[in-house]
């Protein structure tokens, strides 16, 4: 599967955390393209379909064989007759609640989800399909029903690769052990701040030939700061004291070696041999440009040894 160094995670163009105009969203996507990004990830969940619509409008201006696009299944979007005209802030999206999400992990539901995503994207196909957050609904149904349905779509040639995106090591490990998927999108469980996926999930990937796409590599914002603080965002909430203490110690080591914390956070996940791509979001053009520059800038080899010696990261990589 042809991934580049960076995949743009398009939740922000679905108005995650703050509203963007269509022009602002297009400027972010254009900045990603100009920075060399050719892999894009979206989902119906992101802005109740707004991310897919905006991303599709942008990608339709590019040759279809010049990019890789992934979306997700598991949640269908349906009209919400009880919508109060407010915003979807319970899910952190600044979009009207005229639609609601309905879980459907059945084979028929998976196929409907794909068809509806293609309609919103305005594309004839997507390259990768992920089952989205099955642990939030029914992991068992995801394993028994949704994953076989995804594998069927791949085997029919409808998509090139299939996988599961999740935030718990239990869901990620169980999904890899099915032997039916190609990729795991590991969200927040393998970052510079914490690496629980390294002990259970990654061995399961190695046994089953599953590649890793690392997402939420800044832990929702904490690692994106030059100087981590308690005011930072961690996993869409406040920063636990033990996490802040560890990340502060890591930032001090980074400063000693003359590199920034966000730069090291990107390189840390990217250098693992299982990682096929690193997903980053951005709500402003400069953010995506910075991340593209950071992943190309060198990091001293001695820094990794120092972090491992100090017990601040799980050892890995060359």
Per residue of the chain (318 residues), give pLDDT as tens. 344 579 999 999 999 999 999 999 999 999 999 999 999 999 999 999 999 999 999 999 999 999 999 999 999 999 998 877 799 999 999 999 999 999 999 999 999 999 999 999 999 999 999 999 999 999 999 999 999 999 999 999 999 999 999 999 999 999 999 999 999 999 999 999 999 999 999 999 999 999 999 999 998 788 988 888 777 778 766 788 888 999 999 999 999 999 999 999 999 999 999 999 999 999 999 999 999 999 989 999 899 999 999 999 977 543
| Annotated catalytic residue 46 | yes
Contact 318, 271 (CB under 8 A): yes
Contact between 217 and 227 under an 8 Å Cβ cutoff? The reply is: no
Beta carbons of 157 and 128 less than 8 angstroms apart: no
Q: At what angle do helices 301-309 and 241-256 cross, to 10 degrees?
A: 140
Question: Could you tell me which of 193, 192, 251, 190 has the C-alpha nearest to residue 226?
Answer: 251
Residue 230 confidence (pLDDT): 77
**Strand-strand pairing, 75-79 and 39-41:** unpaired
- pTM of the full structure: 0.93
pLDDT at position 317: 46
The Cα 7–Cα 3 span in angstroms is 8
CA 136 to chain centre: 16
d(C-alpha 167, C-alpha 148), whole Å: 21
Predicted pLDDT at 239? 81
> Looking at 46, 130, 234, 236, which residue is catalytic?
46
Strands 128-132 and 161-166: parallel
What pLDDT, on a 0 to 100 scale, did the predictor assign at position 1? 37
- By C-alpha distance, which of 95, 32, 94, 20 is closest to 58? 32
Q: Does domain 6-309 have CATH number 3.20.20.100?
A: yes
């Amino acid at each position: 599967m042809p991934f580049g160094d960076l995949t743009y995670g398009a939740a922000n163009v679905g108005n995650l955390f703050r509203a963007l105009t269509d022009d602002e969203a297009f400027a972010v996507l254009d900045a990603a393209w100009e920075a060399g990004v050719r892999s894009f990830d979206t989902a119906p969940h992101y802005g109740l379909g707004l991310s897919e619509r905006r991303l599709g409008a942008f990608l339709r201006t590019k040759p279809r064989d010049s990019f890789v696009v992934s979306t997700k299944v598991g949640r269908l979007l349906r009209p919400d007759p009880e919508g109060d005209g407010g915003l979807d802030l319970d899910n952190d999206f600044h979009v009207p609640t005229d639609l609601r999400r309905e879980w459907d992990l059945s084979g028929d539901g998976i196929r409907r989800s794909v068809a509806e995503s293609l309609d919103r994207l305005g594309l004839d196909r997507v390259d990768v399909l992920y089952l989205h957050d099955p642990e939030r609904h029914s992991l068992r149904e995801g394993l028994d029903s949704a994953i076989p349905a995804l594998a069927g779509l791949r085997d029919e040639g409808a998509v090139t690769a299939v996988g599961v995106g999740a935030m718990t090591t239990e869901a990620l490990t169980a999904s890899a052990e099915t032997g039916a998927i190609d990729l795991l999108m590991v969200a927040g469980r393998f970052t510079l701040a914490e690496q629980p996926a390294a002990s259970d999930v990654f061995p399961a990937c190695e046994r089953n030939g599953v590649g890793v796409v690392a997402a939420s590599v800044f832990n929702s914002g904490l690692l994106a700061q030059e100087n981590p603080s308690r005011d930072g965002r961690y996993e869409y909430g406040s920063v636990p004291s033990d996490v802040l203490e560890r990340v502060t110690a890591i930032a001090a080591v980074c400063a000693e070696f003359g590199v920034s914390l966000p730069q090291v956070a990107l390189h840390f996940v990217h250098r693992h041999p299982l990682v096929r791509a690193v997903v980053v979001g951005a709500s402003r053009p400069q953010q995506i440009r910075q991340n593209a520059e950071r992943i190309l800038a060198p990091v001293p080899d001695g820094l990794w040894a120092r972090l491992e010696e100090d017990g601040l990261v799980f050892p890995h990589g060359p």
